[in-house]
Structure 1
Amino acid sequence: MAPHRLGPAILLMLLALTGCAATDGGQGGIASAFAPFAQKGAAEAGPITLPDGVEWVETVTDTQKGIVIPYSKYRLDNGLTIILHEDHSDPLVHVDVTYHVGSARERPGRSGFAHFFEHMMFQGSVNVADEEHFKIVSEAGGTLNGTTNADRTNYYQTVPANQLEKMLWLESDRMGYLLPAVTRQKFEVQRATVKNERAQRYDNAPYGLVGERVGEAFYPADHPYHWPVIGYTEDLNEATLADLQHFFLRWYGPNNAVLTIGGDLDPEQTLAWVKKYFGGIPRGPKVQTVAPEPIALDQDRYITLDDDVALPLIYIAMPTVHARHPDEPALDVLASILGDGRTSLFYKNLVRDGLAVQAETGHPCRELACQFTLYALPNPAAGVSLADLEQRIRASFDEFEERGVLPDDLARVKAQIRSRLIFGLESVSGKVSQLAFFETFAGTPNYIAQELARYEAVTEEDVMAAYRRYLKDQSAVILSVLPEGQDIAPASAANWQRPAPPQASAPTASLDYRAPVDDFDRRKAPPASQSVSVIPPMIWRDSLDNGIPVIGAINDEVPTTALTLRLNVGQLDEPLTKLGLAALTASMLNESTEGSSNEALSNRLDKLGSQISVSSGNRYSSLTVRSLTENLDETLDIAWERLFTPGFDEADFERVKSQTIEGIRAAKKDPSSVADQVFSLTLYGQDNAFSWSDAGLEETVASLTLDDVRAFYAEFYRAGAASVAVVSDLPRGEVMALLSPLEDWQGDRPPPTPMAAFPRLETGKIYLVDKPGATQSEIRIGRRAMPFDATGRYYRAGLVNYPLGGAFNSRINLNLREDKGYTYGARTGFSGEREFGRFVARAGVRTDVTGPSIREFLDEIHLYADQGPTAEEVSFTRQAIGQSTARDYETPRQKLGFLSLLQTYDLKPSFVEAQKRILDTLTEAEADQLATDLFSEEVTIVVVGDREAIADQLSVFEREIVLLDENGRRVDEGS
């Protein structure tokens, strides 16, 4: 958890709700700010021979002005649109199939079908056996997933380049041959899985129902955005197999899809494969263009939601326009001015003044309608009510009207959009996603120039006009989230009630299955072509005059730089009475400096489009930098200012400390976070600082002073504890010159803090944290294990665990998720540091199957220890992990992670070759012996759930049930 923020349960959910000050494509910018940008690694398409039935539409090359993703666009006779992007910089390809259908295409009373169908598309088709899709992609060394939103559903895989034909076979088989393979059993299992997902991400998550409640009040009952993408449980319960089949036949035709492929490909061969596998799939019903459906509110609608949260929340939503409306860019700029970051009015008026621990705005846009969203979480120390916050928000509107738009406002937004766009080109998946998005929603992949022009045209007058038209004196939905059991008033009494759910209407017309016509045998999966060659990045090593080691790698595909300055100081160096001190110190380095306010620093960074952050973990504190290389020198100036001259301002300290405490309180409301914390304490004991959350405990953070932070900084932030890793398109010499300001830094690192002895593992107990009313139980089962070792027992343990619980199609996930429908996902795995490690099996499961889920976990682990993996599982592991290395070094962040690994464990790059030898020579006998050694040991069990609902289920294990609180301390049942 970032200690200067609220916990992830709050932050991630709210970010998803508010979006960012950009279009729903996540891109935008200013055309005049771009120099011609030819992306290295991209190949210009030459003339090729097209297969029959494939029509060329257009080719866009990187010789055009501005930022361009080169591509060629084609279309099949059945309406399938194909986009190819060549990039030979890495031996991999990314395949994306986007269907222009999301929850907005559902019928009232039948919500959740688009998302439900996303799940069904992974359950096999006529020529791909049940549960084989994930196995095939994993064994090919790939990664895959699917996503659904209100407007589209997409499926994607990133695989080694030699697996492309197989991916096209897979995607085409489920496009053309899914329905005949759908069975009642598959339908019911995935219905249960989707309900588990809803319980985990919405019903059982703090603030998880905010978006659902706001959408219901914001949109009329028959509006396509009225219901949540996940759907209502009642609608999922009422869904029939016939409903599902109709949804597929209506929307999943090739004429409603875009197939985008990018990476190390041969265009002529790729088109031949596309024609072979997709050409025989019949066209679906005609899909009409969807007209925008913006809405208007006749009065403010106040609603309330009681939730198991630590802090109340006020959330305001106001109707605006729709995606790609002429006023959208101006509204995005307005959102940035009002509530995006430390330069915003919301930050100044609510967060900096201590009234709120967090306050932001956004303008998330979708195909049919957009919202202007604002939220704030009050600071309990300030004693303000939600009504007070609403008044302050409205006063900020008035202040903006008087203040107007400043030149820096436009400069910040434009620079951020520009850098975000370039960062998005660092991976082939990012480029493919961009092309697919614009083709689906703008009708052309080459929309970036138009998008840039839209933002280039925004003026101060446009922003003011947008404010007056869409925000000033306009009605809104105002939601108050109230913590259960606390006497807290809403912003205003509720004046709107949830309507009765609409009755399901019948499908508009019956549709028949359209069988494809092929001229080849689909039952045979195509083989992989010649194996790809994977080479880790070439690295260089150097050191500064004061001894700070530097490790680097060149990445010249995009003009960006990623850098980490890491200090060997973290939570391990905290006294138990000052838990959270390392994280709080790191957070203070994100605040003002001796010479600049944090608002001034943020303004400078935003105008550069750069990112700098300081964070702390168990062993290390890190200053990370992400910058366009052209702005690197100015960005590093700010980084060094933060590092060497922190202001340690008292007002900053009190605000950050208050935010940290509220984040700790929020984490206690998140069952998954609680389970992780308590499990760590059972393994390593309460006398080791690293057993606790990096943020610390509420009482220890409350006792910290600014003098504690100053002393910790002075003692540990020294050159002798520092190292640097950098990935850039700059050569070594230029990088070292930019790092020269670090050479004046001095000081040796103090001796490391010794660890306390670990407690005896209590394997005869179940540790239970009671969460009354929880719809799911969080389970953690495990023990202490070996520390990290790149080429020893630790690495081998990871290999042997892979078929048990490391892959999606592992024994445990197939059992609990796919076969029984108990959970949204279940995993097992080893993790380790230098001195210690752990093995953990984990899942969030339905409350009514908590006991049976634990039994399945234990039985699967014991069976694996007794019998070991099969020969097929060993072969699968060798193939999946061996070929996945093609994806390991693509982006600057991946390369930076590789460099950091070398630094952390004093490794040489040759460890990669050693791992390959171990993997290639892994035998069934060796794996069997390892399984016996690794999984025969007794385990401890932690459960976070509704005690009353699960007590009888836990009693069958004949283990003592020990009640704990969220901090792992025993609860006196008599108190």
Structure 2
Amino acid sequence: MIKPFKVALLGCALLSLQLPVQAQKASPTRLVEKVARKGSELVIPYEKYVLPNGLTVVVHEDHSDPIVHVDVTYHVGSAREEVGKSGFAHFFEHMMFQGSDHVGDEEHFKIVSEAGGTLNGTTNRDRTNYFETLPANQLETALWLEADRMGFLLDAVTQKKFEIQRSTVKNERGQNYDNRPYGLVYEKNSAALYPYGHPYSWTTIGYMEDLNRSDVNDLKNFFLRWYGPNNATLTVGGDVTPQQVVKLAEKYFGAIPRGPEVKNMKLPAPVLTQDRYISYEDNVRFPLLQMTFPTVPNFHPDEVPLDLLAEILGQGKNSILYKNLVKAQKAVQAGSNHPCTELAGEFSVQILPYPGQTLADMEKLAREAFLEFEKTGVTDDALARFKSSYETGQINSLSSVSGKTSILANYQTFTGNPNYLPVDLKRYKAVTKADVMRVYNKYIKGKPAVILSVVPKGKANEVAKADNFKVNTTGYKAPKDLYAGLKYVKAKDNFDRSKRPAAGANPVIKVPPFWTDKMANGIKVIGTRNDEVPTVAMLFSIKGGHKLEAKDPSKAGIAALTAAMLNEASQKYTAEEISSKLEILGSSISFGSSTDQMTVSVQALTKNLDATLALAEERMLHPRFDQADFDRLKKQALESIANQSTQPTVIANNVYNKLLYGENNIMAVPTIGTAASVASITLDDVKKFYADNFSPSVTNLVIVGDTEKDKILPKLTFLNKWAPKPVEIPADVKVANLDKTKIFLVDKEKAAQSEIRIGYMALPYDATGEYYKSQIMNYILGGAFNSRINLNLREAKGYTYGAGSYFSGTESTGPYTAYAGVRSNVSDSSVVEFMKEIKRMREEGITDEELAFVKSAMGQSDARKYETAFQKAAFLNNIIRYNLDADYVTKQNQILQNITKEEINALAKKYLPVEKMNIMLVGDKASIKPGLEKLGYDVVELDPDGNLLNKVADTPEVMIVAPEPTDPKSKKAKKKAVNKEKVGPSVIRTF
């Protein structure tokens, strides 16, 4: 199990330097320590300072790319909340983007975007962070912005902003919790696992009734209590110097007064006296069983062996749960994990059984898996896999300045020491078999758990066991008032803080140099060196994919099924053996399929590249195509297709594609296929598809990493064994003809939100033509956070958590799409606002200010485009796929800087045909249809597969503005989100 924000440390110990005492007294800002690289160590050099007001400043100097990442982490999350006031930490994160004394409403986003940067904020149980990545010349602007909202926020917090953001948070809850299958699992489980009043007993987003009863003064008090500089860490990494950062930190943050004292929290682990059975009904196809055992907090000595136990039981193809449940075709998914946070840890097992299997059966099988572990214990192989995978995950986490900066911020916040890396590495390397058996006996064997059943609506009798637990509020004592007597004291400056800092000279952007080659069997190769981390990444793109299924649409889904089979056994090794070898190497090989290509992704540490390529040869050229694997994967595919009916977003995307492409176009069929088409596919069909279409003659290869052309090409001689064959790519079929704008409605009964898609088939990809120029136009309409669409629907109206639009093109064609998930009761008004903004852009065009904004924002963003191996690979893949000139980026920049308002307005008139667009909604028909029918469009009802339910007589097309209603690394690393947070609801991003 890989946990994020650790790093492999190779070689000698870190060099830690301390200033003499007299030097510390000479400056009001104290240098605490300096950590430098010694020899070839894989470390994050930094300097740490503390300002007189308590602000900790950590600086990582890295001049490899002309960018800077700024992170401000406040040691406050939902764990600092109290009963009846849940959700404040996350709510306040939203408010921090709503302007301050010297920064106007929505200006924070606009300023960072205009500077070519990107930004966000996240909240979890234990901390809230705000961050931006910008060109290095914009460092002072970033610090000015962060300091202004730390020291000058509250007078800008108005009741109107409060209400809008409260509405936005409600939309976020609807989108990520209430309207999502299994979205309430974490909330229900937390309430049962922790005692009433424990700050982990509610989720980060909180309860809506708490937010409804709160007022703007509650929120202001939360800020005054927790947002002082002494409870924050400013971490800056990138093309900067410590002296530069400290000087600016002193200027902008130094005068901000200290806040109240904040002490670290420590609470006893929850104690369960018996198994607690709880359940709820949800709009799901598969029931779910989750068993959760309380464990230990972050950095506890038992954390690492529990991580390894989770991996042995339920992670990867060598785990017990995979073998006994997934491979045995008893469960669609089965796994275990062990997320830890500041106050507690949770060891969880989750199982989604196939139809015909009961949750009671799944609980029995889970307990049998524990018993099997008792007998088999920890193998040498499992121990080696765990340690190697951990090392690789940490190396990969150092691939970007933002990654390294976030690691430093995380360690400083939770340990007080950014240089905690060697300690963390040591405990992962030191874990033993005996440690794992000890923690199993201490925390899992025979211990009570919270056992949650999620069952389809109307099937309450299918729970694992009848509920036996209800939250008990007796005995709860409210904490003492932490908010009495708080006063807002602003900093007193000796400079004019209202003046936005001037940016330095624009950094010089270096497009990655690259080399090309072509193998004898037709593979086109393009590569570049990236030696910041000792890894190599390779991407094979084999043209065809889903598009090839046009030859026989009755077998739709065969490309995806073939890719899944290639992820299984080879002639020489079982899938489990390959998985084990890859994990020991710290490598990955994965096959995928999309609309127009199949892909093979290979990633390895440079030192293990040869061994990894040997396994790639096995999988690519010698697949076993085992019947048992095929039967299992086909069954999974059929269940996944059936499960789509529970997912509004998937329904919306599938139906929208069908409207765009039309009935007789393979692109109107989901890439996974249909129930009928997948049911008809045989193993012989898969073998033939592979033999006919998996060919070097239609393959491009991108290589990025710590290697050179003359070193890597000799290692690829095994590809010469791959015999070329002619592959005929079907010609494009004419897309659906759209005579006029209509509304298409798919019923999702009692849905809390409506998914909206609006658009039409626009134009194909062109790096320097009208496609690229249309993206410039759309940046203002729906391509940025400060776009007209998002500012209207999210920030002004509070209808949605996020809305936007985009052009998406390939060689042949591509759609223009506007999208949002909106509250059900504003579905009709949201359609009106979408169409109003699109029509306004078409008829009125853009302003001079917007033209200057888009030129600055898109132009300066180049500084962020080529930092990581992934970004370099995307750049190279574009060149080789579309046969672009080496200097196409230069040409794009010339187009951007020279484009006129008249050109953009002409593009809007040409490519925003409001009179011929599909307007598609997936939502609760009973509540939203009456409002939609008043908008003057034909309303056509479709089923979840996009088939016609009824046909409405044509009505005059009238645009009616309806009144407003009253009322957005390695596989394992991804399973553990940033700062060891749970993936999903426990970590909340601002947008």
Answer yes or no: same fold by TM over 0.5: yes
Q: For the residues of structure 1 that align with 2:221 and 2:460, how far apart are their CA atoms? A: 49
Among candidates 653, 677, 696, match of residue 654 of structure 2: 677
Cα contact 1:147–1:153 (8 A) shared by 2? yes
Give deviations 1:742-788, integer Å, cap 9, x for gaps. 01211223221123322221534211110111010111111110100
Q: Is the 8 A contact 1:323 1:366 kept in 2?
A: yes
| Structural mapping, 1:524-673, within 5 Å | 524-574=499-549, 575-673=552-650
Paired position in structure 1 for 2:6: 27
Q: 2:131 aligns with which of 152, 156, 159?
A: 156
Matches within 5 A, 1:367-406: 367-380=342-355, 383-406=356-379
Residue of structure 1 equivalent to 2:314: 339
Tell me which amino acid in the other structure corresponds to 1:444: N
Question: 1:293, 1:348 → 2: CA distance?
Answer: 36
Note the C-alpha offset of 1:658. Answer: 1.5
> Does the CA contact (< 8 Å) of 1:562 and 1:728 recur in 2?
yes
Is 1:437 matched up with 2:415? Answer: no
Q: What pairs up with 1:846-885 in 2 under 5 angstroms?
A: 846-885=823-862
- Residue 808 of structure 2 aligns to a residue whose secondary structure is strand
Contact kept? 2:255, 2:492, Cα under 8 Å: yes
Q: Is the partner of 1:377 in helix, strand or coil?
A: strand
In the other structure, the counterpart of 2:47 is 72
Name the counterpart of 1:961.
Answer: 939
Distance 1:74 1:591, change over 3 A: same
1:418 aligned partner: 391
Residues 901-932 of structure 1: per-residue CA shift (max 9 Å, x gap):
11111112211011001000011122222222
Partner of 2:257, secondary structure, is: coil
Q: Which amino acid aligns with 2:204?
A: V
Distance in 1 between residues matched to 2:28 and 2:454, nearest whole Å: 56
Going from structure 1 to structure 2, the CA distance change for 1:62 and 1:50 (only over 3 Å counts) comes to: farther
Determine whether 1:805 maps to 2:782: yes
Return the offset for 1:688: 1.6
- 1:336-365 deviation line (CA, Å, top 9, x unaligned): 100011010111111111111111100000
Distance 1:53 1:37 in 2: 30
1:89: which partner in 2?
A: 64
CA distance in 2, matches of 1:749, 1:178: 65
Aligned counterpart for 1:466 among listed residues 430, 439, 442: 439
1:226-241 alignment to 2 at 5 Å? 226-241=201-216
Contact 2:19 2:33 in 1 (8 A): no
Matched, 1:708 2:708: no
**Are the aligned partners of 1:823 and 1:843 in contact in 2 as well (CA < 8 Å)?**
yes
8 Å CA contact retained: 2:940, 2:951: no
- Are residue 779 (structure 1) and residue 756 (structure 2) matched? yes
**Partner Cα distance (1:338, 1:628) in 2:** 26
- Deviation string 1:434-488 (CA, Å, 9 cap, x unpaired) is 0000000011000010001111221111100110111000100111111124576
Higher alpha-carbon deviation: 59-68 or 135-144: 59-68
Q: Contact 2:237–2:402 at 8 Å: present in 1 too?
A: yes
Cα 1:539/1:66, change in 2 over 3 Å: closer
- Asked whether the 8 Å contact 2:692–2:725 carries over to 1, the reply is no
Structure 1-normalised TM-score? Answer: 0.95
Q: Deviations over 1:682-740 (max 9, x none)?
A: 01012222222211112211221111100100100112122211001111111101111
Change (3 A) 1:65 1:912: closer
Q: Report sequence identity in percent.
A: 49
Q: 1:916, 1:302 → 2: CA distance?
A: 60
Code of the residue aligned with 2:929 in structure 1: it is A
Could you tell me which amino acid in structure 2 is paired with residue 942 of structure 1? M
RMSD of Structure 2 on Structure 1 (CA): 2.1
The equivalent residue for 1:274 is 249
**Residues 1:745 and 1:761: Cα distance change in structure 2 (over 3 Å):** same
The Cα offsets for residues 850-906 of structure 1, whole Å up to 9 and x where unpaired, read as 001100011111111111000000110000000000000000011011111111111
1:497 alignment partner, one of 446, 462, 470: 470
Question: Deviation of residue 546 (structure 1)?
Answer: 2.2
Aligned to 1:247: 222
d(CA) in 2 for partners of 1:61 and 1:266? 13
Higher mean C-alpha deviation, range 756-765 or range 211-220: 756-765
SS in 1 for 2:646: coil
Aligned length: 945
Matched, 1:916 2:893: yes
8 Å Cα contact 1:817/1:826 also seen in 2: yes
Relative distance call for 1:66 and 1:470 in structure 2 (3 A) is farther
SS of equivalent to 1:430? helix
Tell me how far apart the structure 2 counterparts of residues 486 and 765 of structure 1 sit (CA, whole Å).
Answer: 38
Tell me if structure 2 keeps the 8 A contact 1:168–1:274.
Answer: yes
Structure 1 residue runs of 5 or longer lacking an equivalent are 1-20
Residues 136-176 of structure 1 deviation map (CA, whole Å, 9 limit, x = unaligned): 00000000000000000000000000000000000000000
CA contact (8 A) 2:704 2:872 kept: yes
Tell me the SS of whatever aligns to 2:595: coil
Residue pair 1:45, 1:72 contacting (<8 A) in 2 also: no
Is the 2:732–2:812 Cα contact (8 Å) retained in structure 1?
no
2:482 is the alignment partner of 1:513: no
Query: Mapping of 1:182-261 within 5 angstroms?
Result: 182-261=157-236
SS at 1:739 equivalent: helix
Matched residue SS, 1:832: coil
Q: Please give the alpha-carbon distance, in whole angstroms, between the structure 2 residues aligned to 1:456 and 1:543.
A: 43
Amino acid at match of 2:903: E
Q: Aligned runs of 1:53-72 on 2, under 5 Å?
A: 53-63=28-38, 66-72=41-47
User: For 1:505-533, what per-residue CA distance to the aligned partner results, in whole angstroms no more than 9, with x for missing partners?
Assistant: 86552301021111110110001001111
Which of 937, 948, 962 is residue 970 of structure 1 equivalent to?
A: 948
- Offset at 1:504? 8.5
CA contact (8 A) 1:108 1:503 kept: no
1:111-122 paired onto structure 2 within 5 Å: 111-122=86-97
Kept in 2, the 8 Å contact 1:112–1:229? The answer is: yes
- Contact 1:50-1:268 at 8 Å conserved across structures: no
Quick one: structure 1 residues 38 and 195, their matched pair in 2 at CA, closer, same or farther if it must change by over 3 Å? same
Question: Closer, same or farther in 2 for the Cα pair 1:973/1:918, shift >3 Å?
Answer: closer
SS of alignment partner, residue 836 of structure 2: helix
Of residues 390-399 and 479-488 in structure 1, the stretch that sits farther from structure 2 once superposed is: 479-488
Aligned partner of 2:710 in structure 1 is: 733
Counterparts of 2:804 and 2:131 in 1: how far apart (Å)? 22
Q: What letter matches 1:219 in structure 2?
A: Y
Which ranges in structure 2 are unaligned for 5 or more consecutive residues?
953-991
| 3-state SS, counterpart of residue 542 of structure 1 | strand
Q: Would the aligned equivalents of 1:543 and 1:549 in 2 still touch at CA under 8 Å?
A: yes
Q: Which residue of 2 aligns with 1:949?
A: 927
Could you tell me how far apart the structure 1 residues matched to 2:262 and 2:39 are? Answer: 33
Matched with 1:758 is 735
Which amino acid is 2:213 matched to?
A: E
Q: Residue 103 of structure 1 is aligned with which of 78, 86, 92?
A: 78
Match of 1:4 in 2: none
Does the 8 Å CA contact 2:789/2:837 hold for their aligned counterparts? Answer: yes
8 Å CA contact 2:225, 2:483 repeated in 1: no
Moved more, 62-71 or 393-402: 62-71
Q: 1:665 to 1:53 in 2, by over 3 A?
A: farther
2:354 is aligned with 1:354: no
1:500, distance to aligned residue in structure 2 (A): 7.0
